[in-house]
Structure 1
Amino acid sequence: MATLATATLTGRSGCEYPFLAYARDTEFKAMGAVYVVAIRYEAPIGPTYRYVYVGETRDLSDNPLTHCRTGCFERIGANSLFVRMEGNAQRRAEIVQDLREQYDPCCNSNGRGICDYPTIECPLVWPLGL
């Protein structure tokens, strides 16, 4: 499994969290993790990401993208997954909350990950959909 990039995401608290980026269809071993679904697109400065969902799982091998938010990911073209291994469930929940407060990802927007398209919050195509 080859990584696409590394990134440090900063939560609202100011805490920094290192992540590794993978293609969205990457298969993982069973382990707890915080994950961030993103749209990767080319910009003049190089590959750029827009974070569209922040979640956590106790078993990353149980593909976190096969849940009720998949429709949101598909409609906006999410193609990348940032992963941070974390075995402690309480710590995963804290990181997720911190990152959601900072980035306000559109597929987390109403608590169910359901977006009406196209809107500014949930563009049909990013970045050209606005």
Structure 2
Amino acid sequence: MEQKGTFYVTAKGDLEPLPTDDHLHYFEIQASYDEKQQLEHLFAQMHANNKQEGLDIFSPKRHFSESHAEYHRGKDSKLVYELFRYLYLLGTEKTKREIEEMKVLPELYEASHDTIEKVK
């Protein structure tokens, strides 16, 4: 069994070995090297899709070129859903509770499927 380490995920998509700022919210996760790589890949996809540098990846207020709005919203919704799903799967009990309290997974799942269907 591959050893897992503890990481703290920021809203900017950084994975830190320790919480570095008491004013930031972190999601605490337990991840193997491969799981960490997968999460970093999802963050990289999200940043590549993000049209405004520096915008928090968990922010519901994103701006896109209107001519490609549906495409970007669909892609964004799917990526955000995958990120939260993965954070939930890797999360500590506290992280899982926080994500459950946010009630974002069912809403994101529905939004990503609705938008993807419109894009098809």
TM-score normalised by structure 2 residue count: 0.29
More helix per residue: 1 or 2? 2
- Tell me which protein shows more strand as a share of its residues: 1
Bigger radius of gyration among the two: 2
TM-score (normalizing by structure 1)? 0.28
